[in-house]
Chain A
Amino acid sequence: MRKILIFGLLIWSVIISCERDDLCLDAHTPGLVVVFKNQITQQKEPVDSLVVLNMAGDTIVPFSVTDSITLPLALESQETRFKFIYRNGNTVVNPDEVVFQYQPEPYFAGKACGYIMHFKNLTASSVNDGDNWIQQIQVVIPVITQDSTAHVEIYH
């Protein structure tokens, strides 16, 4: 009986000592979700063709016809700028510079995931270049803790 008890305890100890939660699966720093809406109908409407670059000229969102994009915000800054380039065939190419300002806040997402970044006090605006295809920018959710719903609406 005693031997069984001690043997059982040994086996049990070995089983429970295997860590199962050292994989980070579901937590990540959320992206900024932007949806595009028609200025007149107020309904979601894809931009004919859109490419988004960062200020270094790297492609963040490749050419696509879409009504929703997700953008990465810089972590060590309180501001990220992007070039939203509207393209109609090959004839009209209109880049608009969009500025997002926010406060990054580290958030502990669990033992395996460690910290991710949340952002609060989000504001958004476009730089006036005299020929903006973006007519209005509106922040709908100023606190970014997930990226499954839209934070910013862009009217065009």
Chain B
Amino acid sequence: MIKPKIQAVDSSLTEKKKSPKDKKYFIRPGYDIGKRIWGATRGGKLDEFSVDAGYKRYRLDLIYGLEQNTLDFKKYRFDVQGTYWKAGVSYNAYENWPGTDNDITIGLCYAQANYLYHIHQAVIYPYGAHGEPVVWELNETTQALQARWIEVISSVKTEIFRGLYLELRIAGKYLLKADEPENFEPVYIPGFFKTNISKFGFGMGYGISYKIKF
């Protein structure tokens, strides 16, 4: 008489609650600690937030960053101030052992930064070997600038505690377009880091994130 009743309760429970194996979707908000420290050592501020939404092995990645920094390139010193965002897709290539849930992803994303420079001062050398270099106060602010680039990102995310991840990320970047300010050059772009003549760049990230499955 009692047995059928228990069975009925059991079946309704399994219908309502998914087992961890059935949760194929997740979102994972994160924060880049490495960039925060890097910014702080320069007396500036650099915050980078990320979120990736996943289904099985596929991920949608979004990154948003805010930067205010003073950079000293030895021959000139300037402030950079701006925001950037990155959006892309990635694929988890890591074969997890049963019971583990780590990521080694490879992905592609598009990125854009909006920023401006304020150039403080420059060291200018006279012609030839005559006389000492002078420190010239420029105090020039550029107009609002925009830069666009693409990134190939590889990331390793390791679960260190239930749902909490440590992430190490490396990125190869290719600059598509950067606005040219008057009498300066986009030598450093928020989110892209230092530029060079080859248009290629390299980036690293070290952050924490928390995975919410559903």
Interface residues, chain A, CB within 8 Å of chain B? Answer: 2, 5-6, 9-10, 12-13, 16-17, 19-21, 28-32, 60, 70-76, 106-108, 110-111, 113-117, 147
Contact residues in A for B136 (Cβ distance below 8 Å): 75, 106, 115
| A9 contact from B131, B152, B197, B198, Cβ within 8 A | B152
- Contact between chains at B134 and A2 (CB < 8 Å): no
- Contact between chains at A75 and B124 (CB < 8 Å): yes
- Contact between chains at B138 and A106 (CB < 8 Å): yes
Interface residues, chain B, CB within 8 Å of chain A? Answer: 73-76, 93, 104, 106, 122-128, 130-131, 134, 136, 138, 152, 154, 170-172, 183-185, 187, 194-198, 200-202
- Measured in the bound complex, the distance between the Cα atoms of B94 and A2 in whole Å is 9
Contacts A6-B93, A12-B172, A115-B76; is A17 near B202 (CB within 8 Å)? yes
- Contact between chains at B123 and A114 (CB < 8 Å): yes
Number of A-B contacts (CB under 8 A): 99
Contact residues in B for A32 (Cβ distance below 8 Å): 127
Contact residues in B for A147 (Cβ distance below 8 Å): 127
- Contact between chains at A76 and B106 (CB < 8 Å): no
Contacts A106-B122, A111-B187; is A72 near B170 (CB within 8 Å)? no
- Measured in the bound complex, the distance between the Cα atoms of B130 and A133 in whole Å is 26
- Contact between chains at A6 and B197 (CB < 8 Å): no
- Contact between chains at B124 and A21 (CB < 8 Å): no
- Contact between chains at B76 and A114 (CB < 8 Å): yes
Contacts A73-B127, A106-B124; is A10 near B75 (CB within 8 Å)? no
- Contact between chains at B122 and A21 (CB < 8 Å): no
| A111 contact from B73, B125, B152, B200, Cβ within 8 A | B73
